[in-house]
C-alpha cells in the first residue's frame, strides 16, 4: 500500500516510534517514490539516525526508466537525493556499475543481496567480486516468501563469486558467517542476533568434526539444521 503523501508515511513511523517500536525508513525503490519523497526520507533518516533500506539496480528496465525520467541511474539518484550513508542498505544492486559501487563504498552504504530471489526472477546476479574488492559491507535477505533459508543465500552468494572469479573460496567461512549474521544485524541497527541452536546429530552434519561445523553449515546445510524454539 502506498501512502497518500510523504507526511502520512512519516506520521505512521512516528506513531510506531511513540509505542517504542524500532523502525527503519524504507522507501521501496526509485520506481515507487517520487524524487521529492526520496529527498525528504533521506533528510528524515539522517536527522533521526535511522536505518534506510531501498531497492535499487534490481532490473534492467528499472535502470532504463530511471535514466529516462531523471537522467541518472538508481544508485546515482539515491546519492543525489541524500539517501546514501552509513545507515543505508541498498537491496540487490544487481546491475550496479562500477561508478555506482564507488558511491556506495564512499558513502559507507551496505548492500543486501537476495541471490535466490534474483535467480528466481531472472534478474541477474550481484557483481560480487567488484563489491568484495571495494570492501562494501554485504548482508543477505530473502525478498521472497517462496523459500527462506539464510544458509542457501550465502552459499549461492559464494557460488556467484566463484563463477565470476574462476576460483573456490572467494569468501572464507568467517566472511560468509558475517554476511549471514553480523552484517545483517548492523544493517538493522541491532547489536547482534539471538543465538541459534544447531542439531549436531542432523544427517547433513554426520561425521563432521566439531572444528569444521561452521564451515559445514555454510557449505552444505539447510535451515532445517537449526533447532526450532520449544
Q: Which run of H or of E encompasses 139? A: strand 138-140
Instruction: Please name every residue paired with 88 in a beta bridge, in sequence order, or none if there are none.
Output: 52
pLDDT of res. 1: 61
pLDDT of res. 230: 61
Positions marked active-site: 92, 143
pLDDT of res. 8: 94
Cα-Cα-Cα-Cα torsion 168, 216, 147, 28, nearest 10 degrees, comes to -60
pLDDT of res. 115: 95
CATH topology of domain 32-221: TIM Barrel (3.20.20)
pLDDT in tens, 55-100: 999 999 999 999 999 999 999 999 999 999 999 999 999 999 999 9
In order of 192, 194, 206, 227, 229, the CA distances from 199 in angstroms are 21, 16, 10, 6, 12
Q: pTM value?
A: 0.96
pLDDT of res. 100: 98
pLDDT of res. 101: 98
Task: For the chain, list residues with pLDDT below 50.
Answer: none
* The length of the chain, given as a count of residues: 230
Amino acid at each position: 500500500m502506498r501512502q497518500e503523501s510523504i507526511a502520512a508515511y512519516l506520521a505512521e513511523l512516528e506513531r510506531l516510534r511513540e509505542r517504542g517500536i524500532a523502525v527503519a525508513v524504507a522507501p521501496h525503490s526509485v520506481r515507487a517514490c517520487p524524487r521529492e519523497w526520496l529527498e525528504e526520507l533521506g533528510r528524515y533518516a539522517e536527522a533521526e539516525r535511522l536505518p534506510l533500506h531501498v531497492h535499487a539496480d534490481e532490473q534492467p528496465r528499472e535502470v532504463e526508466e530511471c535514466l529516462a525520467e531523471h537522467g541518472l541511474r538508481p544508485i546515482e539518484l539515491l546519492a543525489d537525493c541524500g539517501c546514501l550513508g552509513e545507515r543505508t542498505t541498498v537491496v540487490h544492486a544487481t546491475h550496479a556499475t562500477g561508478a555506482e559501487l564507488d558511491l556506495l563504498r564512499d558513502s559507507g552504504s551496505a548492500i543486501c543481496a537476495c541471490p535466490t530471489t534474483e535467480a528466481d526472477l531472472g534478474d541477474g546476479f550481484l557483481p560480487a567480486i567488484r563489491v568484495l574488492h571495494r570492501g562494501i559491507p554485504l548482508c543477505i535477505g530473502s525478498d521472497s516468501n517462496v523459500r527462506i533459508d539464510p544458509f542457501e543465500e550465502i552459499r549461492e552468494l559464494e557460488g556467484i563469486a566463484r563463477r565470476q572469479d574462476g576460483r573456490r573460496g572467494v569468501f572464507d567461512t568467517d566472511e560468509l558467517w558475517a554476511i549471514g549474521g553480523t552484517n545483517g544485524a548492523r544493517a538493522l541497527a541491532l547489536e547482534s542476533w539471538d543465538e541459534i541452536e544447531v542439531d549436531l546429530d542432523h544427517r547433513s552434519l554426520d561425521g563432521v568434526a566439531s572444528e569444521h561445523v561452521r564451515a559445514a553449515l555454510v557449505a552444505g546445510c539447510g535451515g532445517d539444521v537449526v533447532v526450532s524454539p520449544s
